[in-house]
Every structure is written in C-alpha cells, then in structure tokens.
C-alpha cells in the first residue's frame, strides 16, 4: 500500500508544468460543460446537448467567443453567469485563482506551483511570479470595473438600471478577457452600437489593454520608478500600434463604400467601425459591422490579424505579436546577410528564434488541417472554413456565420482548435511529448548540409 502511494506521489511529481496547464484548462472546461448542461442553465429549462455545452464551455474558458447557440437568448441568467465565470477564469488562468486561494488560506506556494505560474504568464524568471499573479488580479478587477461603469451608462438607457448594469459588467469582463461573448441577442454582437463612441471605444480599449499582456501593463504602471522600458514591452507596444492603426486604415479603404458594412454609416461611424474592425481580431470576437458582409479583401485582412493575435502573457491568442516580430526580423537578418536576429540593436538568443519558428509552423499547420477537415464535413466556401479555423486557433470568436451550422465533427474540430489556441500550440506539443523525447534533446549528431531555396 505504501509503495503504491509512493508511486502515485512520484508520478505526480513527474508531471511537467506545461502538462498541468493543459490538464487544468481541460478540467475547468469539463466542469463548465457539465454546469451548462443543467436545465437551470437554459432559458427554456431543457437539458443542453453535451456537445453544445462542451463547445460553449471551451469557447468561454479559451476566451474565444464562437457560439453554436445565441448567448443572449438561449442561456438563462444562471447559464450566463457560468459563462462569464469561465471567461474570467480562462482569461486570467486557473493558476491565478489558485494562487489567490492559497494566499488567503495561508498556504505556501511551492516551487512546482511557481514553475506552473511562470509558464502560464510566459515570465522570464521565477522571481516575483506570485506577486505578479496577485497584482494581475488587482489590475484586472480595476480595469474591468472602470469598463463596466462606462458601458453601463449606455446600456442603462436601453435596458433599464439593473439589466443595464448587468450588461455593463458582463461585456466589460468579456472584452478585457478578449472573449467576445455578448448578450445583445440575435448573433448581432455590438452592431447596434456601431456609431456609439462610448461603447465601441470602451470595448475596443478593454480588448487592446487585455491583449498587450500583464507583464507589459505592470511595467507601464511602474514606469515612473524604472524610467525605462524592456525590449519586450517596446516590441509589444510598437507592433500593437502598427497593427491597429495600419489595420484601421486598410479597413477604412476596403469597406468605405461597401453598403453591407460601412457604406451607409456617417464619417464618424466609418472611423469608429474601421478602428474597431482592426482591434477586435486581436483577439476578442466582437464585431460592430457584419463580418459576412465584408469584402473578400476585408475578410482576408481579418484572417491575417487573427493569426497574429495578441501578445504573450495576455488574455488573447494567436501566434502573438512578439513571435511574428521575431520571424519577420529573422527574415530581414537573413536577407541582409547577418548571422543574428537583431531588434533595436539587441541580439536575440537563437533559442528564442527557434521557439518562434516552431510556434508559427505548428500554428499554421493546425489551421490548415482544421480548414481541410471543415471543407470535408461542412457546406460553404473555402474562405469561411479558413476564417473559422483561424478564429478558433486565435481564440478570436469572429465568424462568417457558419458556427451555428457546424456538424458534430465540425464542432469537435473547432473546440479542439480553441483549446490548442488557448493553451498554446507549443505548450500543448511539449505537454504530450514523452519524457524520453525531451531528454534526448541533449544528444548532438554530426553536422551536414541540404539545399534550400
């Protein structure tokens, strides 16, 4: 009996931090799915099919926003509270909440738990990771509170005091966590508020702040003390600004005269819609203009932005801004004949470049495989399948309207893609790699050459 217990403890100790993260998210999703299946969770009082409940729970925990049933009309208040709770847990990470409870109970945070938090936050080292987790909680609730107040001022006008406040809180949490779930109803997202500057700018601002990463937010809040920004923060802020502003200009040009999107809007509406259309693919899932009405060029631009996604250690998905930057700057270095990747006169470690390349290739392969599966199992156009697969991987939540029509196989393929996108393709690959595979990395073979290009 003692040897069995000892073996159990040893097997638990062998679990890697990446495996804990992968299993932890899966556990939260399963619990959420079981709660959403309950009759009390649906407005009609019926039991929700397991696949639909699992899809919704996965979309919420993975802060995606793709839905097979309308959030505002299908789910009861209880079901909506379950969804927003899953979004909050998924956005911050279950380890953040576990840390909070450990601290409240006076439990010591072990080295193993610190390693898991380091992996979850993409932190460079273990120092201060517990403090960062608690700081993240405070930052999140403060920003979400401000967003809820601003949104409530608009929703109260349309839905009354209590419902308006409830809508303000729900959409603020959903936006900051980059989830994209809405209660407006009819799969409309926030299209009724396309010309409302308070709603679009508040939700857009929450998405942008939630997408730059907690480490960057923390560094910006302490800029008066440090008087300098790290290379990571500089890269994230500059690339985020380029993607948002550049995307907004392109959307304005592409959709300006399109009667299905911006053609009938005022100049103010066109500017707001262009800016919001550029922000939301990174990676929130709200839309203020009909996505299925966009031009093909506009839809393809959205796919590109969704694939890049948010920044490391944030509530968003995608390959991340810093990963895309590393790949781009490595190409520049090769073209220039430089041996090392350089950013702002800083040399980047080759291990980081290899990691960025691995993430990009695995992510691209995943999107292509899922697109291929959807093209077999579903009815529609190729761009709809590519859009859906990229949206699921980037945990975005935007769709061209095919999500509610997905077959069971299609739903399973998309929910697995959302899970892989939230946990991280490389993290998931490492979690399923055998210990022997990981340990064999120390073996070096003779060097040789192959032709490329």
Size of the chain, expressed as the number of residues it contains: 453
The most confident of the ranges 85-99, 207-221, 404-418 is: 404-418
pLDDT at residue 92 above 80? no
Query: Contacts for 36-44 with beta carbons within 8 Å, 24 or more apart?
Result: 36/75, 36/79, 36/82, 36/83, 40/76, 40/78, 40/79, 41/75, 41/76, 41/78, 41/79, 41/82, 42/74, 42/75, 42/76, 42/79, 43/73, 43/74, 43/75, 43/76, 43/79
Number of structural domains in the chain? 1
Q: How high is the mean pLDDT of the chain?
A: 86
Please provide residue 259's backbone torsions phi and psi, each rounded to the nearest 5 degrees.
Answer: -65, -20
| pLDDT score for 8 | 46
Distance, in Å, from the CA atom of 236 to the CA atom of 231, rounded to the nearest integer, reads 9
pLDDT at residue 20 above 90? no
| pLDDT score for 36 | 97
For 21-26, what is the mean pLDDT? 76
Residue 439 lies in a domain: no
Q: Assign 7 a pLDDT band (cuts: 50, 70, 90).
A: very low
Give the CA diameter of the chain: 75
Sign of CA dihedral 122, 125, 128, 129: positive
pLDDT at residue 12 above 50? no
| pLDDT score for 6 | 47
Q: Which of 70-74, 99-103, 347-351, 378-382 has the lowest mean pLDDT?
A: 99-103
- Dihedral angle of Cα 49, 54, 55, 59, to the nearest 10 degrees: 140
Residue 397 lies in a domain: yes
Residue 232 lies in a domain: yes
For 375-402, what is the mean pLDDT? 95
| Cα 359 from chain centroid (whole Å) | 15
Residue 435 lies in a domain: no
Q: Assign 386 a pLDDT band (cuts: 50, 70, 90).
A: very high
Q: What is the pLDDT of residues 323-332, one digit of tens each?
A: 999 999 999 9
In the three-class reduction of DSSP (H, G, I as helix; E, B as strand; rest coil), residue 204 is classed as helix
Q: What is the pLDDT of residues 26-51, one digit of tens each?
A: 888 999 999 999 999 999 999 999 99
Distance, in Å, from the CA atom of 53 to the CA atom of 46, rounded to the nearest integer, reads 12
Q: Assign 383 a pLDDT band (cuts: 50, 70, 90).
A: very high
Q: Assign 193 a pLDDT band (cuts: 50, 70, 90).
A: very high
Distance, in Å, from the CA atom of 161 to the CA atom of 167, rounded to the nearest integer, reads 10
Residue 8 lies in a domain: no
Domain of residue 231, residue span: 13-428
Give the H/E segment covering residue 343.
strand 342-343
pLDDT at residue 181 above 90? yes
Distance, in Å, from the CA atom of 54 to the CA atom of 219, rounded to the nearest integer, reads 37
Distance, in Å, from the CA atom of 121 to the CA atom of 124, rounded to the nearest integer, reads 9
């Amino acid at each position: 009996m003692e040897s069995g217990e000892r073996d159990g403890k040893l097997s638990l100790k062998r679990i890697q931090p990446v495996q804990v993260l992968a299993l932890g998210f899966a556990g939260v999703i399963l619990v959420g799915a079981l709660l959403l299946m309950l009759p009390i969770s649906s407005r009609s009082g019926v039991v929700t099919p397991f696949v639909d409940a699992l899809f919704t729970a996965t979309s919420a925990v993975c802060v995606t926003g793709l839905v097979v049933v309308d959030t505002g009309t299908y789910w009861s208040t209880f079901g909506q509270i379950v969804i927003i709770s899953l979004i909050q847990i998924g956005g911050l990470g279950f380890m953040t909440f576990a840390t909070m409870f450990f601290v409240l109970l006076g439990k010591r945070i072990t080295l193993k738990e610190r390693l898991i938090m380091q992996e979850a936050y993409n932190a460079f080292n273990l120092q201060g990771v517990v403090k960062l987790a608690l700081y993240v909680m405070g930052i999140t609730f403060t920003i979400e509170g401000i967003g809820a107040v601003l949104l409530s001022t608009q929703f109260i006008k349309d839905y009354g005091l209590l419902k308006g406040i409830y809508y303000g809180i729900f959409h603020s949490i959903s936006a900051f966590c980059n989830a994209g779930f809405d209660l407006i109803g009819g799969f409309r997202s926030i299209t009724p508020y396309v010309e409302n500057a308070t709603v679009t700018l508040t939700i857009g601002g929450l998405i942008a702040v939630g997408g730059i990463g907690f480490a960057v937010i923390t560094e910006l809040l302490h800029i008066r003390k440090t008087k300098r920004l790290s290379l990571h923060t500089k890269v994230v802020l500059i690339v985020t600004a380029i993607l948002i502003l550049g995307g907004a200009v392109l959307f304005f040009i592409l959709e300006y005269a399109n009667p299905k999107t911006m053609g009938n809007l005022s100049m103010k509406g066109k500017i707001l819609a262009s800016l919001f259309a550029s922000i939301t693919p990174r990676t929130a899932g709200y839309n203020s203009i009909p996505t299925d009405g966009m031009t093909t060029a506009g839809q393809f631009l959205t796919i590109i932005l969704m694939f890049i996604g948010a920044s490391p250690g944030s509530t968003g998905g995608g390959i991340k801004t810093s990963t895309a930057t590393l790949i781009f700057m490595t190409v520049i270095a090769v073209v220039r004949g430089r041996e090392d990747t350089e950013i702002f006169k800083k040399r980047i470690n080759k291990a980081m470049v290899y990691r960025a390349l691995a993430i990009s290739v695995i992510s691209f392969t995943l999107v292509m495989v899922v697109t291929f599966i959807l093209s077999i199992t579903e009815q529609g156009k190729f761009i709809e399948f590519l859009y859906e697969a990229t949206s699921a991987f980037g945990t975005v939540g935007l769709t061209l309207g095919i999500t509610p029509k997905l077959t069971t196989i299609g739903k399973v393929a998309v929910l697995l893609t959302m899970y892989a996108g939230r946990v991280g393709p490389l993290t998931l690959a490492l979690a399923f790699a055998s210990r022997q595979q990981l340990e064999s990395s120390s073996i070096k073979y003779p060097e040789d050459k192959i032709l490329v290009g």
